[in-house]
Structure formats: structure tokens, C-alpha cells
Amino acid sequence: MDKRIKWGIIGVIGIGLAVLGIRTFTPRENEDLSEAERSLPRESTSSKALNVNAKIIKPHLLTEELFVTGRLVPDEEVNLSFETSGKIIDINFQEGTFVTEGQLLAKVNDSQLQAQLKRLEAQMPLAEDRVFRQNALLQRDAVSKEAYEQVKTELATLHADIENVRASIDMTELRAPFDGIIGLRQVSVGAYASPTTVIAKLTKITPLKVEFDVPERYAHQIKKGTNLSFEIEGHLDSFNSTVYATESRIDDETHTLTVRALYPNEGGSLLPGHYANIQLKQQEIADAIAIPSEAIVPEMGKNKVFIYRSGVAQPVDVEIGIRTDAEVQILRGLAAGDTILTSGTLQLRQDMPVIIDKID
């Protein structure tokens, strides 16, 4: 082969290798990385306006209400039992029915006491005759004063014995201490009863008591005559009641005051044992400046509200008063006619542009 051709081929190969080496070691742009960088959002040079809701302040009646949970308790309730021991010989009530005060409900055997009573009553005529005869003799000085006093004492003792037996007989009778509904009986005829044996439960449900506890900060506001309303699960209507008494002191452990109200419960439609959702009206403020609770922004121990001025948000420090479920009273910082921002409050900053989507 011609030397010139040979060296020419070698030269071309050398140039090719040189170009390949330079391309390999020359830094190049990472196309994947560049694409990712191009996809990142660029910060706008101008602030973006925040879409918010707003409300124009209008003075209105604000009612402070307290919501607590209570329970319905009977006006009176007692476990019925005999005052003496004996075998039950009669039960005179039907379970779950209304009974009246003094009605005979049950009785234990009193045959021995009845026999004692008859024996003592049989002695009465003779004892009374002795006193009569001794008195007549005393008038004629035929007997001593002491003899007359002796027969009088015997008659008085006989009277006392009779009353004692009659009292024992009364103890064998179980009578209703008040009007009410008698519950399920726990014994049967023939059972032996003692003073610890519960025969049934008697409950007075007309009226009913509404018992509940209020935090100590409200204790001075709850007084006799305070009106309230309550709701019972399963009933669509609410019921009105009036406080008639409060406990004499604050509970040391719960720091609450126990309160009782009275509900007439005419017809006995409600039963004791129900839980009651109670609503108490504390005070009413006319022409109050009140705003939605969500408009309040707590910050560094203070409360602030953002108001709308010339298209931007401006923070204002406020002093709050009473709270309800949905609103907060503003004592200082706002006035009627101010437009407050009620949404996006955590994103708002001073002089941030805002666009009002909805205004109340």
C-alpha cells in the first residue's frame, strides 16, 4: 500500500478518536434536570389576591345562653317495706298503676296481735266501772284518794296497752305514703317479709324535678324563678321549667352548683331517669356589636379581626365580651358598618389584597 494512503487512514482514525474524546469529557446540560426545573412554579412579582367571605356589622339583639345536660328525677320516690316482720297474707296493688296516699298495698299476718287487742278491749268495761265506783265512794269519803288513783292508773295503763297493740297492727299494714305510680313487686303472698325486704318502688312523677349542674362562674346568675327550657330524646317539642332551689354550696371537687327546677308533667307524659338537654337564658343585650366566632384570630394573648378597607385586609385589635354558640360580642375595636372578613383568616396578612366572593 502506498505510504501516503496508509498515513492518511491513520490520520483520519486519529482525528476521529480525538473528537470522540473531547465530546466525552466536555460537560453537557442534563436534559431531565432542566425539564424538572422548568416545571417548578415561578414566584410572581406581584401579590395574588385572596378570595374571602365578608360580613357587614349590624347591631342586633344578643342573647347569652348556657347549655348543660341534666336529668329528670321524681318529685318523691321510696322503696316500700314493712315496719315489722311476718308472713305476707295479702297484696292489694297491681304493678305499674296509680295509687293514692293511704291506700292499703299489702299486709302481713296479725292474728296474734288481733287476739291481744280483743283481750285488752274486753277488760275495758270492768276497768271503767271500777273507776266509776271508786269515784262515787270517794265522793262519800268511803275510800281513800290513793285507792281511787290506783284504779285510774290501771285504766290508763289498759288504754296505753290497747294503743300499743293497735300501733303494732298498723305496722303489719303497708300503705302508700303519697300519690304515685307503684312499680314491679318483688315478693309474693306467703313470703316472709322483714323491714329490709323491698316490696315495690313507689314514684311520684307529677311534678318532675329537673336536676343539673352549672359551672361556678354562673352560680350567682342562677336563682329561684330562673326560667329554662329542656329537650328529651324521642320528643320533638321542648319543655319549659322554672328553678325552685339550688344547693347551699359549690361542690369542692367539680366546682359546680347543683340546681333543681320543677316541671308540672301534667298527664305523666315524661318519666324520671331521662337525660335532658337544658338551655338557660342568662342575659339579653340590645343593639350589641357581635360577629361570627370564626372571624376572631387569637394572637399573642390578644384577639384581632381583619376588616376590609380599599381592597386590602387590615387587622384590628378587639376586646370581646360574652360568647354564644355562633357569635362573640365585641366591646371595643369595631363599629356598626365595618366590613369584617369571615373566611381565610389564618392566611390573611396586613395589606394583603382580597376579593370578596360573598358578603352578608
For the chain, where are the E strands, in sequence order? 50-56, 60-80, 86-91, 98-99, 104-108, 173-175, 180-182, 192-193, 200-215, 227-232, 238-246, 256-263, 275-288, 290-292, 297-299, 302-309, 312-323, 327-332, 339-341, 354-359
Residue 333: pLDDT over 70: yes
The CATH number of whichever domain residue 95 belongs to comes to: 2.40.50.100
Mean pLDDT along residues 164-181: 96
Q: Which domain holds residue 241?
A: 68-75+203-285
* Structural domains of the chain, count: 3
Distance from C-alpha of 128 to C-alpha of 152, rounded to nearest angstrom? 8
Both 350 and 253 in a single domain? Answer: no
The CATH number of whichever domain residue 305 belongs to comes to: 2.40.420.20
pLDDT given for residue 25 in this prediction: 46
pLDDT given for residue 2 in this prediction: 54
Mean pLDDT along residues 219-228: 90
Residue 188 phi, psi (nearest 5): -130, 165
Mean pLDDT along residues 116-138: 93
Both 295 and 274 in a single domain? Answer: no
pLDDT given for residue 31 in this prediction: 45
Please report whether residue 27 resides in a domain. Answer: no
Distance from C-alpha of 214 to C-alpha of 257, rounded to nearest angstrom? 5
Please report whether residue 314 resides in a domain. Answer: yes
Both 343 and 238 in a single domain? Answer: no
Both 262 and 308 in a single domain? Answer: no
Residue 28: pLDDT over 80: no
The sheet carrying 173-175 orders its strands as 173-175, 104-108, 86-91, 192-193
**Would you call 27 exposed, middle or buried from its count of C-beta atoms within 10 A (0-12, 13-18, 19+)?**
exposed
Distance from C-alpha of 207 to C-alpha of 232, rounded to nearest angstrom? 16
Please report whether residue 5 resides in a domain. Answer: no
Nearest to 291 by CA among 339, 329, 320, 324: 329
Both 207 and 277 in a single domain? Answer: yes
Please report whether residue 168 resides in a domain. Answer: yes
Both 171 and 229 in a single domain? Answer: no
pLDDT range class, residue 360, cuts 50, 70, 90: confident
Look at the pTM and tell me if it is higher than 0.75: no
Please report whether residue 327 resides in a domain. Answer: yes
Both 271 and 322 in a single domain? Answer: no
Please report whether residue 106 resides in a domain. Answer: yes
pLDDT in tens, 2-25: 555 655 566 656 665 555 555 554
Which residue, 285, 310, 335, sits at the end of a domain? Answer: 285
| 3-state secondary structure (DSSP) of residue 186 | coil
Q: Which three cell numbers stand for residue 179?
A: 300519690
Both 295 and 327 in a single domain? Answer: yes
Residue type, 75: D
Both 303 and 220 in a single domain? Answer: no
Residue type, 150: Q
Mean pLDDT along residues 300-305: 90
Q: Which three cell numbers stand for residue 355?
A: 376579593
Q: Which residues contact 107 (CB under 8 A, 6 or more apart)?
A: 88, 89, 90, 92, 172, 173, 174
Both 232 and 133 in a single domain? Answer: no
Nearest to 104 by CA among 87, 91, 88: 91
The CATH number of whichever domain residue 232 belongs to comes to: 2.40.30.170
Both 281 and 292 in a single domain? Answer: no
Both 214 and 140 in a single domain? Answer: no
Which residue, 193, 222, 244, sits at the end of a domain? Answer: 193
Which residue, 193, 221, 252, sits at the end of a domain? Answer: 193
Mean pLDDT, the chain, as a whole number? Answer: 87
Please report whether residue 35 resides in a domain. Answer: no
Please report whether residue 3 resides in a domain. Answer: no
